[in-house]
Each structure stands twice: as C-alpha cells, then as structure tokens.
Chains A and B, each alone.
Chain A
Amino acid sequence: MQVRVKIRRFNPEQDAQAHWREYTLTAEPSDRVLDLLHQVKWYRDGTLTFRRSCAHGICGSDAMTINGRNRLACKALVKDLKQPITIEPMRGFPVVKDMVVDMTGFWEKYRSVKPYLISAEPLPAKERLQSPCERERYDDTTKCILCGACTTSCPSFWANAQYLGPAAIVQAHRFLFDSRDRGAKERLDVLNASSGVWRCRTIFNCTDACPKGIRVTQAIGQVKQWLAKVRLSRRKSVSKTVLSDS
C-alpha cells in the first residue's frame, strides 16, 4: 500500500528552524513506523536521524510523537495509524537532530531518586527470601524501559521542566514497594519537594503513553499515598514532642 508520512525535520548544521517534510512510501500494513523511517533513511535521505536498536519494544530508544501520541516507532504499526502519519520528536526535551532529543535532564532526574536497592542489612549466603505476593507489589514498575514517552506526554512536565516526571517516580516506586529495600527515607525529600510527586495532576497521559502498559498514574498515586502517610506520622510525632515539652 501507499503510505503518506510527514516527518518533522531539524538539522542543527543546516536549519534555523524545524520544518515538515512529506514522503510517500510503499509499505505493508503490518510494517512498523520504524520500518518507514528506515526506508526514508536508507533509500531517500541518509541524513534522517533517529535512535533505535532492538526494533521490538525493549530497548526504549525510539520513543517519539506519532500522530500526536507518544509511542515507540518499533511498536506502532502502519495499519493502526491514520494518514498522513505525522512523526515528530518527543516534546519537552531539546531537539538535537530530527527525532534525536537531548535526554540529559531525564537521566539526571532518574538518578536523583536513587534508582537502586538500598539496604545495609547483612546478606544471607543464598538469596533473600521474598514471597510471590511481595514480588507482585512492584512488578508493574520493573517493566520500565526508560524511553521517556510518559514524561514527555505530561502537561505538568511541559509546564515546568523541573518536575521529576512520571518516569523517575516509576523508578522510585519500583524500590519503595520492594520488600528488600530500606531506602525510603533517602528518597523522601526528592519525592516530597515542590518539583516532586505533588505536581502530578492525575491527567493519565503517562499511562496512555507507556509502551509497556505500566499503570503509571496508579504507581504515582501509590507513592503519593505513601508520602501522605509519612507526613502524617511525622506531624503526629512532632506534636507529641511539643506536648511532652510543655
């Protein structure tokens, strides 16, 4: 079939501004948008630039905005898309070239939630035990492939680039709800800060955008609930101290 594709192009060495280019391609209905991009790059215009590696939705390289929605180019199929198919870089990160964006800020926020297991407890000779039920509590958020589709679909992030964003909160969730982790206290301040979870307005764009089907908004909600509880117990312990002082 014939497919019309509109791609937002920007070459920093040539263009003052981004602009749209249109291509008509021959493709199969089952082709991926990534196949279309390859067709342009390999047979039409070698300067077209995008990241990609695995081509089946695992490595998280090729999140972009396709027909106005954030998706992985390797998981979006031609047959499911209205034409012309519009392809542009994720919104909210500086554009480096065509679909390639600068994700430095994204990785900084990722690091800021301490995305690693924190525990000083002595280790057993074998594995630590964890029941299937405990494992299930954080299963959903272990699926994250750090593609950035959620964060760059979030109006709160567009409004304020300081906002941690859904992806970093998902990472925090993965550890906060892991029965083996003891790092809750160390992550508290970042999550509770003015640029933390409270900026989330429960708009659900992130959940819609996630190519792994993670219930992102639900995970953020759970982190909020946890924080609310911590705040409450803090306030209680503060008022107790005040009382005993008097």
Chain B
Amino acid sequence: MATTTDPAAGARTAGTASDGDGPAIELEGVAKTYRAGRSTVTAVRHLDLAVAPGEYFAVVGPSGCGKTTTLRMIGGFEEPTAGTVRLAGRDVTGVPPDRRDVNTVFQSYALFPHMSVADNVAFGLRRRRVPAAEVRRRVGDMLDLVELTGVASRRPGRLSGGQQQRVALARALVNRPGALLLDEPLGALDPLLRQAMRAELKRLQREVGATFVHVTHDQGEALAMADRLAVMAGGRVRQTGAPAEVYERPADRFVAGFVGAANLLTGTVRTSAGGDGYAAVDLDGGQRVRAATAAGPGARIDLTVRPEKIRIAAAGTEGPDGGANLLRGTVRDAVYQGPATHYTVLVAGAGAAEPVELVVHRQNSAAAGPALRVGAEVRLTWPPEHSHVLGPA
C-alpha cells in the first residue's frame, strides 16, 4: 500500500518502534489503585510486561482483571500508583497522552460525532501541523486501506458498527504511532463480522508494521491473533508467551482453565522420574499416570491434559499404545459439534475415591470410527508428554 512506502513516514514520529532493539512498550512493577471516595480498588497489582517492536501482542483475562487499566496507563489516561511505563526506552510516567507516541482505539470507538469520517481521520495529522496536501493524501490512503473511501464525507453516526470500527482504526493508524492500543476492538461487533475483522486486523498490522497491543477477554481471539500474549488475572500477569506455548504448557491452574478447555487432575508422585524423564503419579482417584516432573516421591502435583490430546476408543479395541497413559471409563455425555464430538468420560476411582470426569474431543474425521454412545465402556490413552504438570496456582 502507498501508505507504508512513504519515505517521509518515519521522520515525523520520534521514538517509533523501529529505532533500537529494545521493547516498544515496557511496564516495570506497575500498579494502579483507584480511589473512589473512602474506598480503594486495586485494578493492577504488579505488572511486568515487555512488548517487542512490530509485535502483535494480546492481553487476555476475565472481565475486571485490569486489562483496560493497563492499556490506559500505556496511553497516558491513568498514572500508575507505582512502577514505570517506558515507550521505546523512554520513561513516559507523567507524560500526557498528547505527547506519547501511541494511539488508542477505544472500546466505544469515541469517534467525533460532529466531524466527517475524513475529518476524524485527519484530526491527529492536523494537530501535528502536517501540510494540508499531505493530510489529504494520507487520509485518502488510509481510507483506502480500511476500505472506507466511499463514506469519507459522512458523519460517523450514519455508519454501521463495523465501519465505525474501521474509522477508529484509521484515525489511529494514520498517525503511524509507535504502538497501537486496542481495547476490546472486536467486542461490539456481531460474531460473523468479528471473525472477518480478526483477519482484517492482522492484515492491517502486517501492512503498517506497527506494534499492536490488543486487549480482549476472549481467549480464542487472543490465541488466533497474537504473536505473543499475556494472560492476566486479578491485576497480575499469570503467563506470557506465544499462543502455542501458553496453550500447551499453561503455567498454572488458572491459565490452563482460562485458555482453552482443560482436564485438571491432582495426584501424588509415587516414583520420581526415571531415564525417560517421566515420573509415575497416583491420581487422587487411584488411577496411575506418567508425567514429566522433577518432583520427588510424595510430592503433590497438579497436572492437565488437553481434551484433544486424549484418544478415545471402545473398550476391547486394544491398539498399539505402548508407553501411553491408559485410563478406563464410561461415556457420560456426548455432544456433537460438527468437526468434533466432545465426550465426557467418567473414570471410576479405586475403592472409595471420587471418580474423575475427563473431557475428550474426538475429531469426526474420515478415519474416526463409529460414534460412541452414552454408557459405552471406553479406554482413554495419551502420550505421557501431554500430561502437563502445572506450577503452583
């Protein structure tokens, strides 16, 4: 696109992501406590975060965990009660939003209702006294990029939700900020449009090459879009990493349960890891599984198995599952989901122990056998590398 190949681009925004190799955004020991009358609310407890230049970074967590507050501290709308915020290596604590090289896409879009779409998009450039001809050209290019050229002279109030969202994006991106902050950018869109906008946002980010920080409560969105993501809960970051890393190796019970579906099991180490790195673990239900852990005998551990890692087969159809964990149970529930069927399997405990329920996702692929009925006796197997041991939650 014409916008990205503009030689005058980098010159204007000082301290953009491209200078230096340091993080574009860095939060160090950041905390925020709101004071509402006599009571206080701690929205962010302690936050260390570093976002690399050009990265698509997602912050995901349940509602009220402090995501918006975090974003507002980066944007300059809230001052942290403790800690420092650095943009491209510069400490911006105390710097007002108009003097920070980041732009925000607000959850409500916050488009100026009395200005046309083009004037909304031109707002930031005009504040920086960009010459009128260049403003016109860059606004035109940006409206092309988000496919809104036809509505340039309309008021935002006359646009659909999806169009308003793209105006908000264009209004921020036209300034070529060092980083773009997006607060639940897809939250107000209907599900179909949301899906389309995921791809659209990724395309935009690739084309402008800016750092994106995308806040969402939708873990699926974060997994699908982010290069790296931070999982937040209760005003803290629980885990940071690439989507596959966070999904496959969740740091604790919270992350395991929040990102994707997970079977959570607890047990006691029986014999510590042998030559293959796997220890034998007695689950609280009495079943024995193998998992990679350095814990010694007698240690209590939590482990998790993702539902799609478990193979489910009717009892009696013994397969070549050498070395795999094996549990036997009864199908309690089967929910047909189209591409996959989700089974809930009751694994009986030994003696008086509580039975364990495991969720298993089986692809309805061409190779899959006949559907398993509720009440069917089944065997569950999974390779021990997929019994992921969690840290303390």
A and B physically associate: no
**Interface residues, chain A, CB within 8 Å of chain B?**
none
